[in-house]
Amino acid sequence: MKLEGGCLCGALRYAFEGTPGAAGWCHCRMCQRSSGAPAQAYVQLCAAGFRYVAGEPAVYRSSEHGERRFCAVCGSQIEFRDGREAGFVSLNSGTLDDPSATPPDRHIWASSELPWFGDAPRLPRFAEDG
């Protein structure tokens, strides 16, 4: 499978070729804070098949073993890398050109899930701004 994507402003672009791994929602407090969202949608990719085709990401060391890579121009968070799992990239699904290509199949760090997160399917839906 070939996946492509990038940041909000277009300064960073990436490509991946291979078989995506697990996809899900991460509810850890670091993902909540770094994304500003109740959870971060992600897909696990083999690092060997992932490359930047435009621009170079800025790197923020968010923990002893973790790095978050993002666009230094617009701030879009692109990926997370765990030094204990050097062969993988956790790509933020919303940065894919087609985010529907990697539907979530799990929730991780559910111990930090916000109590109202599960209410989302029952809320009113508006096609545009509501």
Q: Tally the domains of the chain.
A: 1
Q: What integer pLDDT is reported at residue 120 of this predicted model?
A: 81
Task: Report residue 119's pLDDT band, with 50, 70 and 90 as the boundaries.
Answer: confident
Residue range(s) defining the domain that contains residue 50: 24-80+92-111
The answer as to whether 61 is a domain residue is yes
Q: Pick the more confident residue, 63 or 4.
A: 4
The answer as to whether 12 is a domain residue is no
The answer as to whether 46 is a domain residue is yes
Q: How far apart, in whole angstroms, are the C-alpha atoms of residue 100 and residue 3?
A: 11
The candidate with the shortest Cα–Cα distance to 74, out of 53, 55, 46, is 55
The answer as to whether 119 is a domain residue is no
Q: What is the largest CA-CA distance in the chain?
A: 43
Q: How far apart, in whole angstroms, are the C-alpha atoms of residue 73 and residue 14?
A: 16
Write down the pTM of the prediction: 0.88
